[in-house]
Amino acid sequence: MAKKQREREENAVVRILSTQTADGETDKSELNSTASYQFTPKEATIVYTELDESGEVSGETIITVMADGLVTIQKTGFADALMILERGKTHPVKYSTMLGTMEMLLCALDIRAELDENGGHLHLRYLIDIGEAYSAQNMIDLRVSLRSS
């Protein structure tokens, strides 16, 4: 199967460092990708494609950062979810994959966004609670920069 053609202008590069801590263990991952980046004084939007181990398109992620500090992360493809992060507030989310759907709660502990028309930095730290079965703390450090023409 050939790679699906991307249908947006990829005017930026994104680097995402993720850290998840659960049950005393920490997992780290890094993603580097081209992305579409749009900025207005009211919101910044970052859209990037995720690839599986074989290089095939497996999903798309849209991160929207509002001027009031609200962040949404919408995933489609291998996982479908709309995650809402708002400092000090808990929001439910349904996270659907081929294996089934999980219902969980997200509570943002820290949201720091330093984004402008040239890109910038987004730092998120939030708790994930899946009942008594699982809880974890996630940290995401995202840097976005415009590509040179």
Q: Where are the domains of the chain?
A: 12-146
Is a pLDDT exceeding 70 seen at residue 3?
Answer: no
DSSP 78-104: SEEEEEEE-BT-EEEEEEEETTEEEEE
| Mean pLDDT within 31-46 | 95
Which has more confidence, 6 or 140?
Answer: 140
Percentage of residues in the chain having pLDDT higher than 70 = 94
Check whether domain 12-146 has CATH 2.40.128.20, yes or no: yes
Could you report the per-residue pLDDT of 41-69, keeping only the tens digit for each? 999 999 999 877 787 888 999 999 999 99
CB atoms near residue 69 (< 10 Å):
14
- pLDDT band for position 125 (cuts 50, 70, 90): very high
Total-model pTM: 0.89
